Amino acid sequence: MTTTSMTTQHQIAMVMDLNKCIGCQTCSMACKTLWTRDEGMGYMWWNTVNTMPGAGTPHHWEQMGGGYKDKVAQVGHLPTRKEYGDAWEFTHENQFDADPVEGTHLTFKGERPEWGPNWDEDQGKGEYPNGYYFYLPRICNHCTNAACKEACPRGAIEKRAEDGIVTINQDRCRGYRYCQPACPYKKIYYNQITKTSQKCVFCFPRVDEGVAPACARQCPGRVRFVGYLDDKSGPIYKLVKQWKVALPLHPEYGTEPNVFYVPPIAPPKFDEHGNLDESTPRIPDEYLVSLFGPEVLDVLKRIKGEMKKTHDGGKSELLNVLIAHEWKHMFGGLDRDPATVPQAGGMQSQALDYKPNRSTPKAMPAGAQPLVFHPGQRAK
């Protein structure tokens, strides 16, 4: 049992159906335009969508350590700005000025970039005609056993009691950056202007008003389900607990993520004669197991079983939920129209009122001790 799980009343969570993600980055832009427009946030993408198999964002984040092994905190790497990819500037003036420089092409300014979010888009793996890839959207997992929170010597990282959303109190943060290597998902960014760490806030000002996070509401693929893990009538409970078809990414990292994924089902392979061969999966089982753990194989069997049922003329409640005929049913009650929130200018200005750079000062809870992190420390 962890400190964080003991204090959370109703854990909010997200399920992303990887069979429906089209890699359009609408979620990334919805988040970017809402939350990371201030100074020092240019290179931040709290929501990323990478092609898998791929090195991801930051570059090779899966090999950067952090999290827990057998409940013991692991040493992690502090990602560099280069590994995230910078907020590149381009020579737009050469193209759009009244007097463009002849013979010049749109290019970057300064040092040649070597990596960035979505750098290896659509590369994937495998040989023609059996190549494969899928898209993996990622946000902070608002973990039950949040390694970032345990690592912060200032007690600046908070897990909200009412819904388990993990936030960084900008007034308490001093930019020590212990949280970044501690997070095994590398979902924390450092703002060099404010000298504080910043991350996804699960759109809590929207959630507080009954509105789903922007990445979920704006997703054209209807990929993202939102709700509370203990709400038996909501989609999250059904997908994670009842039908058990949604799994956390890298459960072995030990932080108990609250973002879950319905694993991807690829089309069959072609054999040497060009015929469909169902006997070996196009996405290797071992790759999916490395991402989602051994349970993923049973999950795939379960979903394929339901698909066969409907193919044979039957009905599947699971597939009906996954298809999301009615988008409002995806949000577990958080389906309020943002335009109806009684704030000047509607939801957008309300959400923008919360600036990660300018959060309301909060007092340290009575009797609370700052948590000091050592790499070998045991998780509570």
Ranges within 10-39 binding ligand SF4 (CB under 6 A) = 21-27
- Least separation in angstroms between CB 265 and ligand SF4: 16
Q: Which phi and psi (to 5°) does residue 167 adopt? A: -130, 160
- If DSSP codes are grouped into helix, strand and coil, which group holds residue 301? helix
Instruction: Name the residue with tokens 């009615």.
Output: 326
Question: By the 8 A CB rule, do 131 and 124 touch?
Answer: yes
Ranges within 180-199 binding ligand SF4 (CB under 6 A) = 183, 185, 187-188, 199
- Least separation in angstroms between CB 217 and ligand SF4: 10
Q: Give the torsion sign (CA, 92, 93, 99, 102).
A: negative
Which residues lie below 8 Å from residue 300, measured CB to CB, with a gap of 6+?
A: 263, 265, 288
Nearest CB to ligand SF4, comparing residues 26 and 36: 26
Nearest CB to ligand SF4, comparing residues 149 and 238: 149
- If DSSP codes are grouped into helix, strand and coil, which group holds residue 350? helix
Instruction: Report the alpha-carbon distance of residue 72 to residue 64 in Å, rounded.
Output: 16
Nearest CB to ligand SF4, comparing residues 164 and 269: 164
Nearest CB to ligand SF4, comparing residues 257 and 269: 257
Answer yes or no whether residue 347 interacts with ligand SF4 by CB under 6 A: no
**Of 48, 169, 196, 255, which lies in the binding site for ligand SF4, with binding defined by CB under 6 A?**
255
Question: By the 8 A CB rule, do 66 and 184 touch?
Answer: yes
Type of residue at 369: Q
The site that binds ligand SF4 (CB under 6 A) totals a number of residues, namely 28
- Least separation in angstroms between CB 315 and ligand SF4: 26
**Long-range residue pairs from 296-301, CB within 8 A, at least 24 positions apart, any chain:** 296/247, 296/263, 298/244, 299/244, 299/245, 299/246, 299/247, 299/262, 299/263, 300/263, 300/265
User: Please, what is the angle between helix 295-311 and helix 285-292, to 10°?
Assistant: 120
Answer yes or no whether residue 221 interacts with ligand SF4 by CB under 6 A: yes
- Least separation in angstroms between CB 219 and ligand SF4: 3
Nearest CB to ligand SF4, comparing residues 201 and 269: 201
Ranges within 115-154 binding ligand SF4 (CB under 6 A) = 135, 137, 140-143, 146-148
Answer yes or no whether residue 214 interacts with ligand SF4 by CB under 6 A: no
Nearest CB to ligand SF4, comparing residues 146 and 347: 146
Binding site for ligand SF4 (CB under 6 A): 21-27, 49, 135, 137, 140-143, 146-148, 166, 183, 185, 187-188, 199, 219-221, 223, 255
